[in-house]
Amino acid sequence: MISLKNVTHSYSSGERPVRAVDDVSLEIRRGESVAISGPSGCGKSTLMHLIAGLDKPVSGEIFADGLPLHTANDAQLTEFRRRRLGLVFQFFNLLPTMNALENVSFPLLLQGASAQESEARAKELLLEFGLGDRMSHFVHQLSGGEQQRTAIARALVHRPSILIADEPTGNLDTAAAGTVTNLLRNIGETGATTLLIVTHSEDVAQCAARHLQMRDGRIVADDANVASSPALGA
């Protein structure tokens, strides 16, 4: 599903180049759930941007769902992100002029789906995520946890083959973070999408079946998680 071969990415910091990702090779199977953790500046967010096709490596090869991201053109990358990738961010990135249902429906409408089909799929996910009574609420009327669950529903509405969550609990209080963590755990356990979580939190990292740790642009640990799976919170 996701394959990296000797991938390096660097950027300039003052007069010296910084290797944010340093000769990383990695294989992630279809349907696998993987967490990547490490201190600030270790390269985990850069690695996520590379796998999402938002950046290109200086050297090496990246394949995601069969597409060679390192050589793909802009049109191919746009199509990949629109149809095969779901992205969840720390600050939600919901559209404030739309309610929850409209936010979740929007990606399907962009793909040319009918309003009826888009709304039905959005309602299905919002009900599944415990937001059935919040569908008509606008972003400012939702709590942080509700906004993040809405953002996750939006990222999944088009049934992507890959879901990437970048610090998904970083802007939430403890209770809301626990609910979102349990939701991500449940998504990972279904195997319906390949789940990649980038996080500072060891608690969040434990919700994935596999845990990678990064330091100085390299993967320094690759372990299977053995953790309980509590039910989704309220």
- Give residue 226's pLDDT: 59
Name the residue type at position 140. H
pTM of the full structure = 0.90
Residue 181 burial (CB < 10 Å; 0-12/13-18/19+)? buried
Q: CB of 130 within 8 A of CB of 182?
A: no
- Give residue 44's pLDDT: 94
Averaged pLDDT for residues 90-113: 95
Residue 163 predicted with pLDDT over 50: yes
Q: How confident is the model at residue 17 (pLDDT cuts 50, 70, 90)?
A: confident
- CA 90, CA 48: separation in Å to the nearest integer? 13
Averaged pLDDT for residues 202-228: 89
Q: CB of 174 within 8 A of CB of 99?
A: no
N-term to C-term CA, the chain = 33
The share of the chain scoring above pLDDT 90, in percent, equals 87
Residue 47 predicted with pLDDT over 50: yes
- CA 209, CA 188: separation in Å to the nearest integer? 8
- CA 82, CA 18: separation in Å to the nearest integer? 31
The DSSP 8-state label assigned to residue 179 in this structure reads: H
Strand order in the sheet with 162-166: 85-88, 162-166, 194-199, 33-37, 210-215, 218-224
Q: Is the Cα dihedral 196, 48, 121, 125 positive or negative?
A: positive
Q: CB of 222 within 8 A of CB of 210?
A: yes
